[in-house]
A and B are shown apart, each in its own frame.
Chain A
Amino acid sequence: MTAQTKIFETPLYPYARHPDQDATTPARHTAVVVGAGPVGLALAIDLAQMGVEVLVIDDNDKVSFGSRAICFAKRPLEILDRLGCGVEMVDKGVVWNLGKVFFDDRQVYEFNLLPEKGHKFPAFINLQQYYFEDYLVARARELQAEGAPISLRGKNKLTAIDQQSDHVMLEIDTPEGPYRLRADWLIACDGAGSPVRRMLGLDFVGEVFQDNFLIADVVMEADFPTERWFWFDPPFNRGQSALLHKQPDNVWRIDFQIGWDIDREKELDPANIDKRLKAMLGEDIQYELEWSSIYTFQCRRMEKFHDGRVIFAGDSAHQVSPFGARGANSGLQDTDNLAWKLKLIQDGTAPESLLDSYDAERIHGAKENILNSTRSTDFITPKSETSRIFRDAVLDLSERHDFARPFVNSGRLSVPCIYDGSPLNTPDALPEGPARARPGAPCPDLPLADGFLLERLGGRTAPRFQLLAIGVDVPADLAVPGLDLEVIALAPDATPALTERYLGEAQTALYLIRPDQHVAARWPGFDRAQVETALARALGKEA
């Protein structure tokens, strides 16, 4: 038995009876998160760091069974760093930049993600979801030990909810019977099949793809390089696709497209998987099958991401195909967007309508992800004969001509979402500044004398707003009641990356930055009224 099998077989948050179960009137919690997956745990940590009391319930008591989500992008790693556990993930994870695309029996081209220098985090790491969750649980435990208001209850299964005007009543089943709880806010991070969404009878509309994929995670000593290999129509899986990707501990993710009309039991038979693996990797390979699974997928989303005091985040709100690693990565961007808003609403600093901006911004993100993921799926599995002819033409041409390579779509990898058009943005008053740092964008990282810029941005113990003043004087008396506002002053010539990433053609700049490190507004200089108006707007108090 390998070390990693043990991780997902050991109860990390085993059931224990809680006094809430014996309370005569149901106990009240500020936030109850349903689902201790990557999204639920990240949200709970974010809330607890800022002092919002949060309880996570899960019908299981272990981390994810099998590797599942394995590919984590730079932006989520930056978010995790704000939550205090990004570096551990990178240290354990496998960093990769190179991807190769094969068509039939030959390599047609390769791409390099060529990450820009001067960022704390790499473009991508591969890390098994069970490790990811394990680190999050460890971080939650660490916060708990420091006295942060976070708790986890395993084998607590939500069975019913009743929405009231200012809270939600929950019915929870446990190995020792049911009990009830009240929650000011219920956040459903309970996955694509979301029981909470079903309990509320809310729609989850989109496109169903008639296809199956067989995942095999195998442990093997192989000398394949740390690259993403993707095959279109290879000899070992005719008419279908395949993927090979490395994870930590010599675990390799192998993914076979197997079509719609299949015999699941037969496909999952280790003898069948063995045959497939040998056809792909050679008769001589030595491996241990760690996990296998067959999955299908859909691209769909909810019409609204919150309903009264019930909020949806991650796969419960939106589901995409796995191509592009846009599932867990977008779920983490949901929590990043949501946590500070809930905290400010809970404190009375912002109106409840601030939550509407969560819908606006994250539905924008979900649409982008669904569009990209649907296009990848249509390229990988062409829907008509003509579509397949064009797909194959692109692949053939990509071997010879550079122009065709951007058309090859084996997954458009997750990039940070820019909240263009968000109601919280103030129109750009620094158009000569770089587009990548425009209002709505997450702040680009850069190295400073003592670390990285993003280590200083965003909210950790409070939903902090910041003014990044580059060659701009900001008066010391600038303060907003109930709000943590910090000024970070940098000289315009501090580093070339600052000029490139924040000034562009401008000589000076003032950025208003949200607790989730997204830009709310920017100007060439300081004007008190403008800053106050932009801040009010970013708090959902329409100016």
Chain B
Amino acid sequence: MSLILTRNTPHADDVYQRLIDAHEGKTKAESDAFNARLILILMNHIGDETVIAEALAAAEI
């Protein structure tokens, strides 16, 4: 398995809106904490260290 960097979410707008909505009404500190929890949850879901390393590299734009 390797990191997917092509289109993988059928409803891009919906998924994106979920992310933005989740931050609605949060202070900067709350949002930062939320993002950190989200990253940790997704990282654990992925599990594969190679994929995580690829994602970390891809995030370095």
Contact = CB atoms under 8 A, between A and B. Distances in A.
Interface of A: 389-390, 392-394, 396-397, 401, 403-404, 407
Nearest to A406: B44
Nearest to B45: A403
Nearest to A392: B33
Contact of B41 (A389, A390, A392, A397): A397
B22 interface: no
Given A390-B40, A404-B40, 20 more contacts: A389-B32, A389-B33, A390-B36, A390-B39, A392-B33, A392-B36, A393-B36, A393-B37, A393-B39, A393-B40, A394-B40, A396-B33, A396-B37, A397-B37, A397-B40, A397-B41, A401-B41, A403-B44, A404-B44, A407-B40
A432 to B, nearest CB: 26
A54 to B, nearest CB: 47
25 contacts: A389-B32, A389-B33, A389-B36, A390-B36, A390-B39, A390-B40, A392-B33, A392-B36, A393-B33, A393-B36, A393-B37, A393-B39, A393-B40, A394-B40, A396-B33, A396-B37, A397-B37, A397-B40, A397-B41, A401-B41, A403-B41, A403-B44, A404-B40, A404-B44, A407-B40
Q: Is the interface of B mostly helix, strand, loop or mixed?
A: helix
How extensive is the interface on chain B, given as a class? under 10
A391 to B, nearest CB: 9
B38 to A, nearest CB: 9
A390 to B, nearest CB: 5
A38 B59 CA distance: 49
A389 B35 CA distance: 9
Nearest to A396: B37
A31 B32 CA distance: 59
Contacts of A403: 41, 44
A397 B39 CA distance: 12
A274 B5 CA distance: 58
Contacts of A397: 37, 40-41
Nearest to A403: B44
B56 to A, nearest CB: 13
Contacts of B44: 403-404
A202 B40 CA distance: 43
Complex A-B, nearest 9 residue pairs according to Cβ-Cβ distance, in ascending order:
A393-B36, A403-B44, A393-B37, A389-B36, A390-B36, A389-B32, A397-B37, A393-B40, A393-B33
Chain A CB within 10 A, most for which of B32, B37, B41, B44: B37
Contacts of A392: 33, 36
A370 B31 CA distance: 34
Contacts of A407: 40
Interface string B32-61: 110011011100100000000000000000
A396 B38 CA distance: 12
Contacts of B40: 390, 393-394, 397, 404, 407
Contacts of B37: 393, 396-397
A82 B33 CA distance: 51
B52 to A, nearest CB: 13
Interface string B17-39: 00000000000000011001101
Contacts of A394: 40
Contacts of A390: 36, 39-40
A404 B40 CA distance: 8
